[in-house]
Amino acid sequence: MEFLRENVLQKQMQKVSLENRSFTIIQDKYGRDIAGACFILQHGGSVKFRDREWIRSDEYRRFSAEVLKFQAVPVEAIDASGCAINYHGLDNLLPLKKLQCLSLQRCPHVDDWCLSRLYLLADSLQELSLAGCPQISERGLACLHHLSNLRRLDISDLPGVEYPGLTQILVEEMLPNCEVVGTDWTQEGPEEQPQDPASPIHAKPAARDLGDPCGVS
Amino acid sequence: MVLLDWDGKVSEFKKKIQSIMPGEPSNLMCDTKHLPPEHSDVVIVGGGVVGLSVAFWLKKLEKRQGAIRVLVVERDHTYSKASTGLSVGGIRQQFSLPQNVQLSLFSVDFLRNINEYLAVVDGPPLDLQFNPLGYLLLASEKGAAVLETNVKMQRQEGAKISLMSPEQLQKKFPWINTEGVALASYGLENEGWFDPWSLLQGLRRKVQSMGVLFCEGEVTRFITSSNSMRNSDGEEVNLKRIHEVHVKMDNSLEYQPVECAIVVNAAGAWSGQLAELAGIGKGPPGTLEGTKLPVEPRKRFVYLWHCPQGPGLETPLVTDTSGVYFRREGLSNNYVGGRSPTEEEEPDPADLEVDHDFFQNKVWPHLAQRVPAFEALKVHSAWAGYYDYNTFDQNGVVGPHPLVVNMYFASGFSGHGLQHAPGVGRAVAEVLLGGCFQTIDMTPFLFSRFYLEEKVLEQNII
Q: For residue B403, what are the CA distances in angstroms to B112, B173, B242, B291, B292?
A: 39, 53, 11, 11, 12
Which residues on adjacent β-strands are paired with residue B138?
B184
Helix, strand, coil percentages for chain B (3-state, nearest 5): 30, 25, 40
* A119 → closest Cβ in B35, B188, B215: B188
pLDDT at A217: 29
Least confident piece of the model among A180-184, B114-118, B195-199: A180-184
pLDDT digits (tens, 9 = 90+) for B405-426: 999 999 999 999 999 999 999 9
Average pLDDT of B354-378? Answer: 97
Nearest chain A residue (CA) to B336: A202
Judging by DSSP bridges, how do beta strands B255-265 and B407-411 pair with one another? parallel
Q: What residues of A are in contact with residue B190 (Cβ under 8 Å)?
A: 116
Least confidently predicted of A162-176, B17-31, B178-192, B358-372: B17-31
Going by pLDDT thresholds of 50, 70 and 90, the confidence category of residue A27 is confident
pLDDT bucket at A183, cuts 50 / 70 / 90: confident
pTM of the model: 0.88
Q: How confident is the model at residue B24 (pLDDT cuts 50, 70, 90)?
A: very low
Helix axes B417-434 and B196-209, enclosed angle (nearest 10): 30
Distance from CA of A32 to the nearest CA of B (A): 21
> How many contacts, defined by CB atoms under 8 Å, are there between A and B?
125
B309 at A interface, C-beta within 8 A: no
- Nearby residues of A169 by Cβ (< 8 Å), 6 or more positions away: none
In terms of pLDDT, which residue wins out, A206 or A102? A102
Q: How far apart are CA B265 and CA B295, in angstroms?
A: 12
Q: Is the pLDDT of residue B5 over 80?
A: no
**Tell me, what amino acid is at A39?**
F
Search chain A and give the residue with CA nearest B208: A215
pLDDT of residue B116: 92
Integer Rg of chain A from CA? 21
Which of A2, A139, A155 to probe the B interface (max B CBs under 10 A)?
A139
Report pLDDT for A216.
Answer: 31
A62 within 8 A of A87, measured Cβ to Cβ? no
Is A217 within 8 Å of B208 when comparing Cβ atoms? yes
**Interface residue B16 vs chain A (CB under 8 A):** no
> What pLDDT is recorded for position B14?
66
- Find the closest chain B residue to A201 by CA distance: B380
Residue A77: what pLDDT?
A: 96
Please, which residues 101-140 of chain B have a Cβ atom closer than 8 Å to chain A?
Answer: 112, 116, 119, 121, 129-133
Contact B246/B214 with Cβ under 8 angstroms?
A: no
Q: Which residues neighbour A91 within 8 Å (Cβ) at sequence distance 6 or greater?
A: A22
The answer to whether B215 contacts A213, with C-beta atoms less than 8 Å apart, is yes
Cβ partners under 8 Å of residue A28, min gap 6 = none
CB contact under 8 A, B189 and A9: no
First to last CA, chain B: 54
Residues of B in contact with A215 (CB under 8 A): 208, 213-214
What mean pLDDT is reported for chain B? Answer: 92
- Mark yes or no for CB contact B133/A142 under 8 Å: yes
B210–A contact, CB cutoff 8 A: no
CA dist A40 and A47 (Å) reads: 7
Report the pLDDT averaged over residues B439-453. Answer: 96
Q: Which of B78, B331, B334, B356 to mutate to test the interface with A (most CBs of A within 10 A)?
A: B331
Interchain contact, B312 vs A174, CB within 8 Å: yes
Test B201 with A163 for CB contact under 8 angstroms: no
Residue A97 has pLDDT above 70, yes or no: yes
pLDDT in tens, B157-200: 999 999 999 999 999 999 999 999 999 999 999 999 999 999 99
A180/chain B closest Cα distance in angstroms: 15
Of A47-61, A116-130, B422-436, least confident by mean pLDDT is A47-61
Task: Tell whether B85 is within 8 A of chain A (Cβ).
Answer: yes
What pLDDT shows up at residue B177? 97
Tell whether B214 lies on the interface with A, counting CB pairs under 8 A: yes
Of the candidates B38, B50, B115, B112, which has an alpha carbon nearest to the alpha carbon of residue B79?
Answer: B50
Cβ of A208 and B79 within 8 Å?
Answer: yes
- B6 has pLDDT over 70: no
Higher pLDDT, B425 or A20: B425
Indicate the residue of B188, B331, B333 with minimum beta-carbon distance to A163.
B331
Q: Which residue of A has its CA nearest to B119?
A: A6
Nearest residue in A to B301, CA atom = A204
Record: contact B306-A2, CB cut-off 8 A: no
- Lowest mean pLDDT, pick from A141-150, A185-194, B131-140, B350-359: A185-194
Chain B contact probe: residue of A8, A169, A172, A216 with most B CBs at under 10 A: A216
B394 pLDDT above the threshold of 80: yes
Report d(CA B440, CA B228) in Å as an integer: 33
pLDDT tens digit sequence for B64-98: 888 999 999 999 989 999 999 999 999 999 999 99
- B200–A contact, CB cutoff 8 A: yes
CB contact under 8 A, A210 and B129: no
What ipTM describes this predicted complex?
Answer: 0.87
Contact A140 B132 (CB under 8 A): yes
How far lies B398's CA from each of A103, A124, B107, B423, in Å? 47, 46, 16, 11
Among the partner residues B197, B204, B331, nearest to A138 by beta-carbon distance: B331
Chain A residues touching residue B189 (CB < 8 angstroms): 116-117, 119
Rounded to whole angstroms, how far apart are CA atoms B139 and A182? 39
In this prediction, residues A81-92 reach a mean pLDDT of 94
- The rounded distance, in Å, linking the Cα atoms of B23 and A143 is 74
Half-sphere exposure of B23 (CA within 13 A, CB side): 1
DSSP 8-state code for residue B361:
I
Question: Strand A54-56's sheet: what is its strand order?
Answer: A54-56, A46-49, A75-79, A101-103, A127-129, A152-154, A179-181
Q: Tell me the shortest Cα–Cα distance from B122 to chain A, in angstroms.
A: 9
**Closest Cα partner for B133 from B335, B318, B306, B303?**
B318
Cα A104 to Cα B360: distance, rounded to the nearest angstrom: 47
* Contacting residues for B393 by C-beta, under 8 A, at least 6 apart: B449, B455, B456, B457, B458
Task: Give the pLDDT confidence score for residue B260 in this predicted structure.
Answer: 96
pLDDT at residue number B449 = 96
Q: In this structure, which amino acid lies at residue A200? A: P
Residues of A in contact with B121 (CB under 8 A): 2, 5-6, 9
Determine the Cα angle at A90 with ends A86 and A94, to 5°.
Answer: 165
